[in-house]
Amino acid sequence: MARPGKRLLKSLCDALFMAVLEHLRSRAILRAIPYDPRACKTFDFGRLVSLAVTLGLVALLALVVYHLLTEPYGAGRYRSAHVIRGALAFGGVLLAIELARAYWSRRIKFEPVVALSILPILAFVHSSMGVRQGVPTTLDPSLRDYLQKKIAIDVGKPFRGYAATIWLDKDGVIWPGSREGINDSERYIHAIPYFRNHYGDTFTYMDLWEWNVPTLEEYGEWTSVQAHAFAARLLAEGGVAAHSNYLRAFAIDIDLLRALGVRFVLTDADKIAGSATLRGSASARRGVNVYLFELPDVNLATYSPTRFVRADTADAIVARIKENKAHLDEVAMVSTDIPATTSRARNVELIVERDGVRARAMSDGPAHVLLPIQFSHCLLVVNGAPVRLNRANLFQTLMSFDGAIDARIEFQFGLFADNKCRLRDGLDNKALGLAR
């Protein structure tokens, strides 16, 4: 990562680059306006200052462009492919100008168009390259490879469970210093460089997503308030103060994790309570050991509750979950009246599809499946299958049906979608007592 001084220089150069381009753009427009030199009968001091300023800005522009070309992203460099793209783009601009001059008007000037094309050409070249960082090579990929083999997702393949990374750091090695007054998300933020330096791997979504390994952890503004409330009140000892962009588990509760669809846990704890099975470990010189545990009887859309407990607020739902957490395959907490049933879903499959999932199941009567995906009113059954979706266990999705079903479910939200569903999600927050 670049040093603070280099980052400051880069920011200043970027700002200066934009200012210079704006100046040249305005001057290019002025140059396109014809004028008669004879109208200027005297050479005053103002014109001399203007010329000096223009020459200075051009020199600074050359310096900024040189800086961008030699080190555009701190640790990144332009490669031959990017230089070729830039040359082709510049050549295309010159060819377009010449064609316009030949077939339209010879009065079109090269200089203004070339000046105006500098920024688009650089933007084109920048967009063709990624940010490169000096990340060390993974020293021991065995845990990552095992997870990829067991639960990596792919279009058309069944969902096989999530991985969860939970650092307990009881010895204060990963996260040294005082814990007081620091947001609990710092535990994971600080762990990223710690494990990257020792293992060349963070063991988190940052690396696991690259190998299509789905994780309980999320990073983004779309993570629901209900999910954060569940994690803070049920997957943390004594509660946490986590950043709203980071969805994390801070404690290992096997019953709850299984209900969420978590099949594997990466942790620095050498043993966890319950019937988890150790599947592998990794060690590094002067680094804490990392262990991989597999949980049994995980909810892979295979939990089919038959009893339902009505709870209308987040506090009440959390209390009922704690009372029934050993039986979440049979009992679900809901905010609407759902009658008990004697039928269970069977032959259930949750298939990963592009832009959604496909749920297949059968039953001999009214049945329900607890899907391991976050609930939202923007979840829609798009193929007309006779199923109903409701919120369960604060933030999970309960799918209700009768008989044989084959339902394709999509999260429909965006520029051209009916986004009133998000307003309904917000009203749910208010009803649950989670509105801020």
pLDDT in tens, the chain (436 residues): 444 444 544 554 555 555 555 555 455 444 444 444 554 445 566 667 777 777 777 777 666 666 655 555 444 555 666 667 667 776 777 677 777 766 676 666 666 666 666 667 666 666 655 544 555 677 788 999 999 999 999 999 999 999 999 998 888 888 765 555 446 677 788 888 889 888 988 999 889 999 999 999 988 777 788 999 999 899 987 766 777 778 889 899 999 999 999 999 999 999 998 889 999 999 988 889 999 999 999 999 999 999 999 999 999 999 999 999 999 999 999 999 999 999 999 999 999 999 899 999 999 999 999 999 999 999 999 999 999 999 999 999 999 999 999 999 999 887 777 889 989 999 999 999 997 6
Q: Domain ends where: 294, 328, 351? A: 294
Last residue of a domain, one of 103, 127, 151: 127
For residue 78, tell me if it sits in a domain. yes
CA angle 32, 34, 37 (to 5 degrees): 125
- 135 found inside a domain: no
Same domain, 258 and 282: yes
Examine the domain organization and report whether 342 and 419 are in the same domain. yes
Q: Which amino acid belongs to residue 95?
A: L
Examine the domain organization and report whether 158 and 245 are in the same domain: yes
Of all helices (H) and strands (E), which one includes residue 352? Answer: strand 346-353
Does a structural domain hold residue 336?
yes
Cα 41 to Cα 25: distance, rounded to the nearest angstrom: 27
33 and 93 housed in the same domain:
yes
Contact call for residues 369 and 385 (beta carbons, < 8 A): no
pLDDT digits (tens, 9 = 90+) for 167-210: 988 888 887 655 554 466 777 888 888 898 889 889 998 899 99
Q: Of 229, 260, 294, at which residue does a domain stop?
A: 294
Residue 164 in domain? yes
Specify if 134 maps to a domain.
Answer: no
Structure tokens at 420: 């009133």
Residues 184 and 255 in one domain: yes
Same domain, residue pair 387 and 262: no
140-143-147 Cα angle (round to 5): 145
Using CA of residue 367, residue 373, residue 377, residue 380, what is the dihedral sign?
negative
Q: Residues in the chain, how many?
A: 436
End-to-end CA distance of the chain: 36
Angstrom CA distances, 34 to 37, 39, 42, 166, 226, stand at 10, 12, 19, 69, 64
Would you state the structure tokens that stand for residue 354, as one six-digit string?
A: 């592009």
Measure the CA–CA gap between 308 and 297, rounded to whole angstroms. 21
CB 420 within 8 A of CB 376: no
> Residues 72, 153: one domain?
no
Domain annotation covers residue 428:
yes
Cα separation values, 265 from 129, 193, 371, 393, Å: 34, 20, 20, 21
Q: What is the distance between the alpha carbons of residues 106 and 426, in angstroms, rounded to a whole number?
A: 60
If asked whether residues 107 and 149 sit together in one domain, one would say no
Q: Measuring CA to CA, how many Å separate 320 from each of 309, 315, 324?
A: 8, 9, 6
360 and 225 belong to one structural domain = no
User: Could you list the residue range(s) of the whole structural domain that residue 266 is in?
Assistant: 142-294
Task: Write out the two tokens for 166.
Answer: 């939970």
| Rounded distance between C-alpha atoms, residue 319 and residue 378, angstroms | 27
204 DSSP 8-state letter: S
Q: Over the stretch 348-364, which tens digit does the pLDDT of each residue have?
A: 999 999 989 999 999 99
Q: Give a yes or no: residue 355 inside a domain.
A: yes
Same domain for 208 and 346?
no
pLDDT reported for residue 181: 44
Which among 98, 114, 95 is positioned nearest to 106, based on CA atoms? 98
- Count of structural domains, the chain: 3
Query: What is the structure's pLDDT at 53?
Result: 76
Tokens standing for 410? 């999509």
250 and 180 in a common domain: yes
Residue 208 CA to residue 146 CA, distance in Å, equals 11
Helices (H), 71-177: 80-103, 110-127, 142-151
Looking at the fold, whether 183 and 273 belong to one and the same domain comes out as: yes
Q: DSSP assignment of 64-76, as one string?
A: HHHHHHH-TTSS-
| Beta pairing class for 162-166 and 262-267 | parallel
In this structure, is residue 136 part of a structural domain? no
- Report d(CA 303, CA 278) in Å as an integer: 24
Residue 14's pLDDT is 52
